[in-house]
Amino acid sequence: MDLSIGEVAQRSGLSVHALRFYEREGLFANPVRRLANGRRVYHEEELEWLAICTKLRSSGMPLATIRQYIELARQGAGNEHERLELLRRHERQVEAQVRELQEALDVMREKVRIYEEHLARGEADRLWNPSHAEADPGPEQACR
């Protein structure tokens, strides 16, 4: 089934501008077909790829790496190990990001807990405030 750029935008959640950008950057596995009048025509396969591609982008994969992956895929059989290694490298990077975010979340949860306790005891004025550093317990105590 042929899909217009508007339909692909609606179904993928990407803007028409983003779809044109992806096309210019060579991020589609196959060239986007055009009708005689110049209108772009997409297929379901492009939607499936866009779903993967947007996850790769949202996980921090650079456009150049996505392009490299697509170029390898276009070459066909014989480079599957290269594609797998590219994906594994990115997987390790995403895992490191997740660990960093988990550490940040742990810190935020502890800060929320401290603030909730101080507010519940009516001691919010004891929370660290840089403009009143002499009277405040300081960040090292407020973070405990």
Is residue 144 assigned to a domain?
no
Distance between CA 107 and CA 144 in Å, rounded?
10
Is residue 92 assigned to a domain?
no
CATH code, domain carrying 38: 1.10.1660.10
Is residue 21 assigned to a domain?
yes
Answer for the pair 22, 47: CB distance below 8 angstroms, yes or no: no
As beta bridge partners, residue 42 has 3
Is residue 40 assigned to a domain?
yes
As beta bridge partners, residue 33 has 41
Is residue 90 assigned to a domain?
no
60 Rama class: left (phi>0) / alpha (psi -120 to 50) / beta = left
User: What DSSP element (H or E) covers 41?
Assistant: strand 40-41
State the pTM of this model: 0.74
Is residue 130 assigned to a domain?
no
| Number of independent structural domains in the chain | 1
Is residue 44 assigned to a domain?
yes
Is residue 122 assigned to a domain?
no
Per-residue pLDDT of the chain (144 residues; tens, 9 = 90+): 899 999 999 999 999 999 999 999 989 988 899 999 999 999 999 999 999 999 999 999 999 999 999 999 999 999 999 999 999 999 999 999 999 999 999 999 999 999 999 999 998 888 877 665 544 445 545 455
3-class SS of residue 34:
strand
| Structural domain that includes position 25 | 1-61
Within 10 angstroms of residue 130's Cβ, the number of other Cβ atoms is 8
